[in-house]
């Protein structure tokens, strides 16, 4: 296990200049909304763009690229990568590498975004904005870097977001651009970020995992099922994060639909002994070891 990461004034400095686009998207959303005014079409575009791209993040970046909980074709991989990359949350390789670190060290000193270790706002977004996390640790994603098309998408990630925003503008005008891209992206960012921040402090703990992850229905509804985060830390090998029928997990329903259409396969479920936690204590923390295996 790696040693405790020492805080470094240079590496942990927030890159204010580099991050102008991050704050700029927030500002543009507000200014754009004031300019175009209220629009029902805008609300629909904002919501549609939000849930479409949230699926790219949860089913693609998270459950496929980070955890490999189901299989798809090489073409299917590209589609998932593109659906995720237009969320403007960096590329699939960057995302998966950092996420695997989170599972390996969840809520330990080495965890890159633990609210317990570094505070709420750090875990929510500031960790993304520092020098230390600008680049991905490629040793954690060797299973993904062997695909040149994924490396390409990761490298030129911002171009895909620009293309997406431009397409919305040409299709729906200023309403498409400001509601469908800018406002939707800001809400999508903070919706996603709640899983790193709130889902480790707010909710119930069904399983006594070694971290402080929680299950939370509100977070599950806004993130397509990612709010069942304690379930997920308990057992990360499944594509399913709502372990019981009442735990709404729309990303999982989407993945199952794709399975029916034979676009994805080998969708991993939850073994009953894992769900009921009847296995021997000490075997509940499957996460860190798992991500090591994936990268090998
Ligand atoms: Zn995960
Ligand atoms: Zn977590």
Q: What is the pLDDT along the chain (296 residues), one digit of tens a residue?
A: 344 566 777 788 888 888 999 999 999 999 999 999 999 999 999 999 999 999 999 999 999 999 999 999 999 999 999 999 999 999 999 999 999 999 998 888 888 888 888 889 989 998 889 888 888 888 889 999 999 999 999 999 999 999 999 999 999 999 999 999 999 999 999 999 999 999 999 999 999 999 999 999 999 999 999 999 999 999 999 999 999 999 999 999 999 999 999 999 999 999 999 999 885 555 544 544 455 566 54
State in Å: Cα 175 to ligand 1 middle: 34
**Is residue 243 helix, strand or coil?**
coil
State in Å: Cα 73 to ligand 1 middle: 22
CA pseudo-torsion sign 77, 79, 83, 86:
positive
State in Å: Cα 241 to ligand 1 middle: 10
State in Å: Cα 115 to ligand 2 middle: 10
State in Å: Cα 105 to ligand 2 middle: 10
Domain ranges in the chain are 20-295
CA distance 81 to 71: 14
State in Å: Cα 13 to ligand 2 middle: 23
State in Å: Cα 133 to ligand 2 middle: 17
Q: Are 214 and 81 in contact (CB under 8 A)?
A: no
SS (H, E, C) 176-203: HHHHHHHHHHHHHHHHHHHHHCHHHCCC
Structure tokens at 200: 């480790």
Which bound ligand lies closest to the C-alpha atom of 213? Answer: 2
State in Å: Cα 122 to ligand 1 middle: 18
Which bound ligand lies closest to the C-alpha atom of 211? Answer: 2
State in Å: Cα 233 to ligand 1 middle: 7
* Helix 74-85, helix 40-55: angle, nearest 10: 140
The Cα diameter of the chain in Å comes to 59
State in Å: Cα 283 to ligand 1 middle: 18
Q: In the chain, count of helices (H) and strands (E)?
A: 15, 2
State in Å: Cα 40 to ligand 2 middle: 35
State in Å: Cα 88 to ligand 1 middle: 19
State in Å: Cα 102 to ligand 2 middle: 7
Number of neighbouring beta carbons within 10 Å of residue 293: 9
State in Å: Cα 241 to ligand 2 middle: 12
CA pseudo-torsion sign 117, 123, 128, 130:
negative
């Amino acid at each position: 296990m790696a040693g405790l990461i020492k805080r470094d004034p240079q590496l942990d400095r927030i890159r204010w200049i580099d991050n102008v686009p991050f704050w700029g998207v927030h500002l543009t959303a507000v200014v754009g909304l004031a300019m175009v005014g209220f629009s029902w079409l805008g609300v629909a575009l904002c919501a549609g763009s939000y849930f479409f791209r949230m699926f790219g993040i949860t089913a693609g970046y998270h459950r496929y690229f980070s955890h490999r909980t189901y299989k798809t074709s090489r073409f299917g991989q590209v589609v998932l990568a593109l659906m995720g990359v237009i969320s403007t949350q960096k590329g699939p390789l960057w995302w998966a590498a950092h996420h695997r670190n989170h599972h390996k060290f969840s809520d330990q000193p080495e965890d890159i975004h633990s609210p317990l270790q570094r505070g709420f706002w750090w875990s929510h977004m500031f960790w993304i904005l520092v020098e230390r996390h600008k680049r991905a640790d490629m040793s954690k994603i060797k299973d993904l870097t062997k695909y040149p098309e994924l490396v390409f998408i990761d490298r030129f990630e911002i171009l895909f977001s620009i293309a997406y925003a431009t397409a919305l503008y040409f299709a729906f005008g200023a309403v498409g651009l400001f509601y469908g891209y800018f406002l939707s992206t800001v809400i999508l960012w903070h919706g996603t970020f709640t899983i790193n921040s709130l889902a480790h402090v707010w909710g119930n703990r069904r399983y006594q995992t070694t971290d402080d992850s929680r299950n939370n229905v509100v977070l599950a509804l806004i993130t397509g099922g990612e709010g069942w985060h304690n379930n997920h830390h308990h057992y990360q090998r499944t594509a399913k994060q709502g372990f019981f029928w009442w735990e709404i997990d729309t990303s999982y329903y989407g993945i199952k639909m794709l399975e029916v259409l034979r676009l994805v396969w080998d969708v991993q479920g939850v073994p009953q002994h894992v769900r009921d936690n009847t296995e021997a204590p000490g075997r509940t923390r499957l996460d860190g070891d798992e991500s090591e295996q994936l990268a090998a």
